[in-house]
Amino acid sequence: MTVLPITIWGEPVLHRRASEVEVFDDELRTLIADMIETNEAANGVGLAAPQVGVGKRIFIFKYANDDDAPDEGVVVNPVLTLSKVSGALPDPEEHIEGCLSFPGESYPLQRAEWARVQGFDGDGRPVDFVATGWFARVMQHEFDHLDGKLYVNRLVDRYSKKAMKQAKKHGWGVPGLTWMPGVDPDPFGH
């Protein structure tokens, strides 16, 4: 297994819809193993293939939950069914979210409280579970990456402006920027 560099906001693969996985083979299983290793080194709760520069509809997760769902796994070609998202403003302490591809920054975002996750594992077997609370947030966050969205694209105006100021300050928004888990300092201080 290999730890892969994580792409930073502005890398084109992060901003376009990822393509469906058509072949479940050893190459796919190696990518999944590398994503798991990368997520572990980055102290993440999830990682989508575009975050390691691969435009495929795959994400992995590792999040202890109280749902009747696995605490870790992979979902290939996922489909999410969501409960309604509250129209209330996000709570700046309760709804804070961060992203390995927008490293070191965190902003509040309102998400659906419930998500049904369907897709396939790395061998092409069906996956189907329900996630609630923070686990549902993780599923939505990773799924968004597959549609070319980062959580900062969903922020309400006042937080969006703050995020874009930080992106400019860091010099993000251009292709070719990455950080290396286990080598570069942990941007979230874990």
Nearest to 152 by CA among 118, 187, 93, 103: 103
SS3 67: coil
Q: Pick the residue with more confidence: 12 or 65?
A: 12
Average pLDDT, stretch 4-13? 98
Tell me the three state secondary structure of residue 94: coil
190 annotated as ligand-binding: no
Q: Are strands 126-132 and 178-179 parallel, antiparallel or unpaired?
A: unpaired
Contact 39, 47 (CB under 8 A): yes
| 113 classed as catalytic | no
- pLDDT for 76: 98
Segment 94-143, tens digit of pLDDT: 999 999 999 999 999 999 999 999 999 999 999 999 999 999 999 999 99
pTM recorded for the entire structure = 0.96
What is the pLDDT at residue 153?
A: 96
Q: Set out the domains of the chain in order of their start, with CATH numbers.
A: 6-179 (3.90.45.10)
- Residue 99 known to bind ligand: yes
pLDDT band at residue 148 under the 50/70/90 scheme: very high
Residue 23 is which amino acid?
Answer: V
Determine which one of 11, 37, 105, 142 is catalytic.
Answer: 142
Please give the pLDDT value at position 19.
98
- The pLDDT assigned to 16 comes to 98
Q: Would the annotation count 141 as a binding residue?
A: yes
Averaged pLDDT of the chain: 97
| pLDDT bracket for residue 1 (50, 70, 90) | confident
Residue 19 DSSP symbol: B
Q: pLDDT at residue 156 above 90?
A: yes
CA distance 92 to 104: 16
73: number of CA atoms within 13 Å, CB side? 23
Whether pLDDT at 30 is above 90: yes
- Model pLDDT, residue 190: 83
* CA dihedral sign of residues 156, 91, 112, 5: positive
pLDDT class for 66, splitting at 50, 70, 90? confident
pLDDT at 71 over 90: yes
What percentage of the chain exceeds 90 in pLDDT? 95
pLDDT for 67 equals 85
